[in-house]
Structure 1
Amino acid sequence: MTKVFPIIETDRLILREVNTNDSNDMLAYLSNIDVVKHMGLEPCQTEKEVLDEIAWYQAIYNDGTGIRWGITLKDAGKVIGSCGFLNMNPKHFRTEVGYELSKDYWGKGIASEALQAVVHYGFSHYRFERIEALIEPANLPSLRLVEKQGFKREGLLRHYEFTCGKFDDLYMYSILKEDLTNI
């Protein structure tokens, strides 16, 4: 039996499964150094690299370790970013959240709207108790985004990841189900 990929709708957005038809839209933002510099990725150069990213989205969904929604505006089907869960750990009722958004849409509240919807979905449908966000200290917009959503900074994980030829420190943020009163 195949799983049906959930669709999340907000006031302005439809969060949906991405597919190979979205690769050109995704290449437009995944090739931008400003978008990917805090993701531990080099900017994508080719459609093949984006297709590999889409294949990863499909793999984590199929094996139950994550889910990544493409962010689209209701009035246009174009994928302008993604948001979702990775490293899902149902045994411990926790997961990590990640996201990125095309630079053309920064500062419009879209990332905030998408993140809020995904966090609520995780608490209500996946029954998570804890959702974590790991963020590079220099990524000030992302730090502000999660803090605005009610995430709490727990500490600094020193040299936690090795990406793009360097060790990265990451702040550990979390939000608990009890932190949101309307779940």
Structure 2
Amino acid sequence: MTFPILATPRLRLTEVETYHATALFEVFSNPEVVKYYGMDPMDELIQAEKIIQHFKKSYEMKKGIRWAITLKDGDQFVGTIGLNNLALGMKKAEVGFEIHPRLWRSGITSEALRAVLDYSFDELGLHRIGAVTFPANDASIGLLKKNGFIEEGKLRSYLFQSGLSHDAMIFSKLNTDRSPNS
């Protein structure tokens, strides 16, 4: 199965490859990036290499798709976005993303998210895309709402990070929630 390449005006979404490991490590080792990610910051490059292998295996098993977000201008890796818990037969998945802090609030994540949503609904035929985030993650909650996700509720002790269980908020967007021209 050929990995889907997506493009937007400013971005190329491609398969996360081993040559992205150093840039991915830079993102995932930043405590501010993973503060609400459900994992502790990476402290060794091998962790980035292992997560890339996990992304590849998940894709091969048709359980997820993780794209490298690269800027068209300079082909620079700035983060990832992807579908987790992909269940093609059940027509659903969850979306997750992270981006380098220097591009926070630049619209890059929304642009990548719209491309992934379009691909998910139009090409994969999914009906539901879910998203889970920490209740204090105002930036992600705002991004999800801005892109048409509806808050469904709280998942008690759903995430485990820094030795503690944390509640999570769950959001979803259905194919039927899309406007007719999107």
User: 2:39–2:160: 8 Å Cα contact kept in structure 1?
Assistant: no
Q: Which moved more, 1:159-168 or 1:16-25?
A: 159-168
- Whether the 8 Å contact between 1:66 and 1:88 is mirrored in structure 2 is yes
Give SS of 2:27's match: helix
Moved over 2 A (4+): 161-164
Cα offset for 1:78?
Answer: 2.1
Q: In the aligned structure 1, how far is the partner of 2:16 from the partner of 2:89?
A: 27
Q: Report SS of the residue matched to 1:57.
A: helix
Which residue of 1 is the match for residue 152 of structure 2? 154
Q: Which runs of 5+ in 1 are unaligned?
A: none
Question: TM-score of the superposition, structure 1-length normalised?
Answer: 0.96
> 5+ unaligned residues in a row in structure 2: which ranges?
none
Counterpart of 1:59? 57
**TM-score normalised to structure 2 length:** 0.96
SS of the counterpart of 2:39? coil
What is aligned with 1:180? 178
Which of residues 36, 39, 55 is equivalent to 1:38? 36
- 8 Å contact 1:13–1:71 — kept in the other structure? yes
Whether 1:8 aligns to 2:6 is yes
Q: Deviations over 1:128-160 (max 9, x none)?
A: 000000111011000000000000001111111
Task: Find out whether 1:102 has 2:100 as its counterpart.
Answer: yes
The one-letter amino acid paired with 1:34 is: E
State whether residues 84 and 97 of structure 1, in contact with CA within 8 Å, keep that contact through their aligned partners in structure 2: yes
Distance in structure 2 (CA, Å) of the matches to 1:123 and 1:108? 25
CA-atom RMSD in angstroms:
1.0
Residue aligning to 1:135: 133
Q: 2:68 aligns with which of 64, 67, 70?
A: 70
